[in-house]
Structure 1
Amino acid sequence: MTVEVTNEMDQMKIMIRNFAENEVEPYAQQIEEEDAIPPHLIDKAKELGLFGMSIPEEYGGIGLNTVEKAIVLEQLGRTHNGYVSLISAHTGIGSTGLVKLASESLKKKYLPDMAAGKKIAAFALSEPGAGSDATNLATVAEKKGAQWIVNGSKHFITNGPVADVFTVFAVTDKQKGAKGGITAFLIEKDFPGLIVGKKDKKMGLRGSYTSQLIFEDCLVPDSNVIGEVGMGYVSALKILGEGRVGLAARAVGSCQKLIELSAAYAKERVQFGKPIAANQAIQWMLADMATETAAARALTMEAARKIDEGKKVIKEASMAKLFASEVFNKVADKAVQIHGGMGYMADYPVERFYRDARITKIYEGTNEIQRLIIARNVLDEN
């Protein structure tokens, strides 16, 4: 695997890492306690162009390719996962559909404000009866004249309470179902008939909000169809594929930070007259953490490289998401163990990472679904 990175990208990597370490992390505990991200940190992300990572320069973004975006997200993964989730849900699955599939008029209308962070984006696929089984959507859209009327609900929508625009999937032909009967729409929060539910209470990802979306005869202009009518399920798979690579990159960044925190603590913590780092049990945990993180990074960057080369990466994206999320959970568990009782205390960042790691095996496709996707591709290839 060869991933070439420009000097400019190297400088950006250092800048984002310094930003995560020196400007975001000092507010991590405040975010945990208040379940809110300080506005100045969102403003700083806008200044750095982070909301426009995925958006081409012609629409006001910085137009990073997938490898470059993975590098940035890895650095952001070193700090508060709730903060990173707000940004990555916008730049990943929230923006990808518009960038890759939308009409030129839709791009010109929405992407500049999204790139500037003036409009926050969200991706609305999951429903109470259609989580892992995305083909079982109950939300429907009926064409009437120059508008579509959308009815149904979505749940667990990241950025739901704060988003201005939503990529929403609805059934437009029940007979065809996933094979030509699901369509993607760009729906604004102020469109008549859209109701945003209350914020969900979650185990982790404080400061990153999810909610239900309810559509009651929601009126959507025909011009706000993303891509082709009936091709929404195919579009969702493409969008999720790239999103899974971004999620994997964030997980790798969190793993790397946990390794550094654990190694530093192990050298400082003295038991039985010597640092616990001198104990083979601790050394082996660190060895496993470092080895598995390096493997997750390689898998993630390989998938990102193939996306940039225009190759089909459904299997590789699922492998990256599956492996990196499971490594994140294992690394977080070992980090808590190395820290002992201190690792269980909310004052220490490893406790936060431990809680935040758990959702990575669930969202953007559960790891059980990733295994099904990988297995089916392996069987088709052999």
Structure 2
Amino acid sequence: MSTSPTVQEARTRTREVTSQFDDDYWRAADLERRYPQEFVDAMGASGLLAAMIPEVHGGLGWGIGAASAVMEEINASGGHSAACHAQMYTMGAVLRHGTQEQKERYLPAIASGDLRLQAFSITESSGSDTSRIETVAERDGDDYVITGHKTWTSRIGESDLALVLARTSPRGERPTEGMTLFLVDLREVRASHPEQLEVIPVRTMFNYATNQVKYHGLRVPGSAVLGEVGKGFRHVIDGWNAERILLAAEAIGDSRWFVERAVSYSKERVVFDRPIAVNQGIQFPIADAYMRMRAADGVRWEACALFDAGEACGAEANMAKWLAAEASWQAANMCLDTYGGFGFVDTYDVERKFRETRVYGIAPVSSNMIRSFVATKVLGLPKSY
């Protein structure tokens, strides 16, 4: 665990916000499938969602280590950082590939919390094979017209801006070429041409504001292009390491929550005239979960150090994500076993966090895809796809 002053400040400031949102708040939001807008607003007002935006643009100018601590603390408090985590890494595309005009127009407003960039509209029915997306953007004078269907686009209803990936030229010999990334101002779309954007809410097993989105000839100005035309896929993937590190931290936060709750409950729960914590059948799984969490945390901080130093960290970022996802899922099962039947009762919050943490083995990259990455990119084994 990092002990740097910035990371400690990140933890302290995040705890100040999360202390205002207790288990009852998160339980009610989950039950109603309601977006936790009050929490996200508080995080935005605190400046923490601008952790990685440089100070020159109004942000905190922190590294990814401190930013990851913010995500970890949200989940460790019993909250659900999926409501706001995208803003941590989506702004990176603007920072790295935006024009000076785009940076000056959007980044200070994102940093202040006046603008929300929470929507990343990429995935289609082809899933992880992004090269086969079918959404197209055709040039029409100075504008582009976007037509297509995205299977998953989270928080678009809660966002002012969205990153949208579309094909601007047909799929060819180099399948990852020919896609362009657009920074779409949703406020303008909603005000002038709402019929061009169809949002279909998707109910999932946990409280996640996700949707299908259909673009019905959505007209955007040429100034909405982010980076180079035809190079959008490259612009997307260079943010993947940050995304994996931040989500690894979230899963580690979940592991902390499960371990802490299991320790506390096992000391208090008395069966056969003694606390269940004295039983090795209870102790050993809790100890296992704690050690798995610490191991994942170690690789997470290794990835953070490399990322902040500007060094290659694809292997470490992916391994941290895999290890953390495995650790949080094992911890979730351990915690449910510790609580027994009470773990299924919503007032204990175990079943809610159990559902929430399961996603880390699937999204934004599945654990099996990470295994493939490590096998081929790190160990030099032949590609399987």
Superposition TM-score tier, normalisation by shorter sequence? over 0.9
| Corresponding residue for residue 5 of structure 1 | 4
Distance in 2 of aligned mates of 1:175 and 1:11: 47
AA at the equivalent of 1:375: A
Any unmatched runs of 5+ in structure 2? Answer: none
- Assess if the C-alpha contact under 8 Å between 1:183 and 1:230 holds in 2: yes
Residue 125 (structure 1) aligned to one of 106, 122, 126: 122
| Corresponding residue for residue 42 of structure 2 | 44
- The 1:80–1:113 alpha-carbon spacing in structure 2 relative to 1, beyond 3 Å, is farther
| Corresponding residue for residue 230 of structure 1 | 230
Deviations 1:37-75 (A, max 9, x none): 454433321221123122222222222211111111111
- Assess if the C-alpha contact under 8 Å between 1:161 and 1:199 holds in 2: no
- The 1:236–1:287 alpha-carbon spacing in structure 2 relative to 1, beyond 3 Å, is same
- Assess if the C-alpha contact under 8 Å between 1:21 and 1:78 holds in 2: no
Residue 154 (structure 2) aligned to one of 149, 152, 158: 158
- The 1:370–1:118 alpha-carbon spacing in structure 2 relative to 1, beyond 3 Å, is same
CA RMSD in angstroms comes to 2.0
Distance in 1 of aligned mates of 2:130 and 2:351: 33
Residue 178 (structure 1) aligned to one of 166, 175, 183: 175
Runs of 4+ in 1 over 6 A off after TM superposition: none
Distance in 2 of aligned mates of 1:40 and 1:379: 46
1:353 CA displacement: 0.8
1:22 CA displacement: 4.6
- Assess if the C-alpha contact under 8 Å between 1:194 and 1:215 holds in 2: yes
Task: Please state if 1:195 is matched with 2:197.
Answer: yes
Alignment of 1:1-382 (within 5 A): 5-6=4-5, 8-37=6-35, 39-82=37-80, 84-92=81-89, 94-121=90-117, 122-128=119-125, 130-176=126-172, 178-189=175-186, 190-191=188-189, 192=193, 194-204=196-206, 206=207, 208-380=208-380
Deviations 1:255-307 (A, max 9, x none): 10111110000001111221111001111011101000001111111111111
- SS of the residue aligned with 1:54? coil
**Aligned residues with identical type, % of pairs:** 28
- SS of the residue aligned with 2:158? coil
TM-score by length of 2: 0.91
Higher alpha-carbon deviation: 303-312 or 111-120: 111-120
AA at the equivalent of 2:179: I
TM-score by length of 1: 0.92
- Assess if the C-alpha contact under 8 Å between 2:306 and 2:313 holds in 1: yes
- The 1:133–1:245 alpha-carbon spacing in structure 2 relative to 1, beyond 3 Å, is same
Distance in 2 of aligned mates of 1:156 and 1:332: 25
AA at the equivalent of 1:96: G
Distance in 2 of aligned mates of 1:60 and 1:50: 12
Distance in 2 of aligned mates of 1:377 and 1:232: 22
1:4 CA displacement: 6.0
1:24 CA displacement: 4.3
Distance in 1 of aligned mates of 2:22 and 2:107: 26
AA at the equivalent of 1:88: H
1:164 CA displacement: 1.4
Deviations 1:178-206 (A, max 9, x none): 342111111122334641413211101x2
- The 1:108–1:178 alpha-carbon spacing in structure 2 relative to 1, beyond 3 Å, is farther
1:370 CA displacement: 1.5
- The 1:373–1:200 alpha-carbon spacing in structure 2 relative to 1, beyond 3 Å, is same
Distance in 2 of aligned mates of 1:9 and 1:132: 33
Distance in 2 of aligned mates of 1:372 and 1:317: 14
**How many residues are aligned here?**
375
- The 1:194–1:310 alpha-carbon spacing in structure 2 relative to 1, beyond 3 Å, is farther
1:26 CA displacement: 4.3
1:351 CA displacement: 1.1
Distance in 2 of aligned mates of 1:373 and 1:322: 11
AA at the equivalent of 1:106: Q
Deviations 1:88-126 (A, max 9, x none): 02222x322112221111111112222222222211110
Distance in 1 of aligned mates of 2:111 and 2:72: 20
Distance in 2 of aligned mates of 1:381 and 1:228: 33
- The 1:79–1:87 alpha-carbon spacing in structure 2 relative to 1, beyond 3 Å, is same
- The 1:80–1:265 alpha-carbon spacing in structure 2 relative to 1, beyond 3 Å, is closer
AA at the equivalent of 1:79: S
